[in-house]
Amino acid sequence: MENKENNAIELLNMLCGNSGCVISDSGGKDSSVLKHIAMKTREKYNFNFSIQHNHTTVDAPETVYFVRDEKRKYEAAGIKYNILYPQRSIWQLIVDHCTPPTRLMRYCCADLKEYSGHGEKLVTGVRKSESKNRKDNQSIVTFPKPKQKIKEEAKSNKDLSVNKQGGVIVLNLDNAETRQLVENCYRTTKTLINPLIDWEDDYLWWYIRKENIELNPLYSCGQCRIGCIGCPIAGDKRWAEFERYPKYKEAYIRAFDKMLKERKRKGLQIFDKWATAQKVFK
């Protein structure tokens, strides 16, 4: 089997060996593999990293407890582990924005998940095989909101490409100048490094079993999804989540009630299908 583990270790050391990095921990399986790889890189190269988790205020309780356990475990091993809490909860954001988050209006991601990581090399467990969006828009290194200088560089550098979202992705790191670009830009431009980008699902699960990596207990309950409860991207899976976590359903309905009052206060239209908080929820 191709030695993807070794490639990921070498990539981490090559891109972050001098500066260190922040490993982003979502509480999911990809993050658990990534932390494991970072520890192996540390053993081999005395690699310096910290870990960060963005608490979203709408995580499954199992994820909250798992992340706290991971924090204890990694801190005991001498690794700094930060849990970041957002300024506004999802319940407050719903009222602020006067609308629930939807597939097309995912305003909450910016406030709950994407506000950190500037001026750092943020290492993620993003993989292309997870979605077509990631396949098209992510690569080994991604600048999600590049400065104009990087966009200009992408026009003439065949190792760079502009993705559909206006970000710049690095296609090939064999070129020393391209590596230098990552080194020069990360302090001013959010820089995502994705060492597992080409790991297929089968390989990832095989590796988890081989290395006996501890996972979020939600994986052992079959249909469970790791991520925000009620996220619009989850589609119909949300209904099973609300069955499992009825308190979250109640919290959404309370937030929608406040949201409707705020819409009235601001003189915004109240649609028939949003006549009550229950109807908004449905």
The residues that touch ligand SF4, with contacts defined as CB under 6 A, are 56, 101, 106, 108-109, 112-113, 227-228, 231, 233
- Whole-number minimum distance, CB 267 to ligand SF4, in Å? 27
Beta strands in the chain (DSSP E): 21-24, 49-54, 81-84, 121-123, 141-143, 160-162, 168-170, 191-193
Question: Helix, strand, or coil here: 53?
Answer: strand
Whichever of 28 and 195 has its CB closer to ligand SF4, that residue is 28
Whichever of 14 and 240 has its CB closer to ligand SF4, that residue is 240
Q: Which residues contact 12 (CB under 8 A, 6 or more apart)?
A: 21, 37, 38, 41, 47, 123, 193, 195
| The token pair that represents 36 in the structure block | 């494991």
Whichever of 162 and 233 has its CB closer to ligand SF4, that residue is 233
Whichever of 40 and 97 has its CB closer to ligand SF4, that residue is 97
| The token pair that represents 40 in the structure block | 């192996």
Contact 35, 224 (CB under 8 A): no
- Whole-number minimum distance, CB 213 to ligand SF4, in Å? 23
- Whole-number minimum distance, CB 251 to ligand SF4, in Å? 13
- Whole-number minimum distance, CB 32 to ligand SF4, in Å? 18
CA distance 273 to 209: 48
Whichever of 33 and 112 has its CB closer to ligand SF4, that residue is 112
- Whole-number minimum distance, CB 275 to ligand SF4, in Å? 24
Whichever of 9 and 60 has its CB closer to ligand SF4, that residue is 60
Q: Is the dihedral of CA 188, 114, 96, 86 positive or negative?
A: negative
- Whole-number minimum distance, CB 263 to ligand SF4, in Å? 20
CA distance 15 to 34: 15
Contact 276, 259 (CB under 8 A): no
- Whole-number minimum distance, CB 109 to ligand SF4, in Å? 4
Contact 190, 113 (CB under 8 A): no
- Whole-number minimum distance, CB 227 to ligand SF4, in Å? 6
| The token pair that represents 250 in the structure block | 């109640």
Whichever of 206 and 239 has its CB closer to ligand SF4, that residue is 239
What distances in angstroms separate CA 163 from CA 49, 92, 142, 191, 245, one per listed residue? 28, 32, 9, 14, 37
Counted residue by residue, the chain has a size of: 282
Whichever of 86 and 195 has its CB closer to ligand SF4, that residue is 86
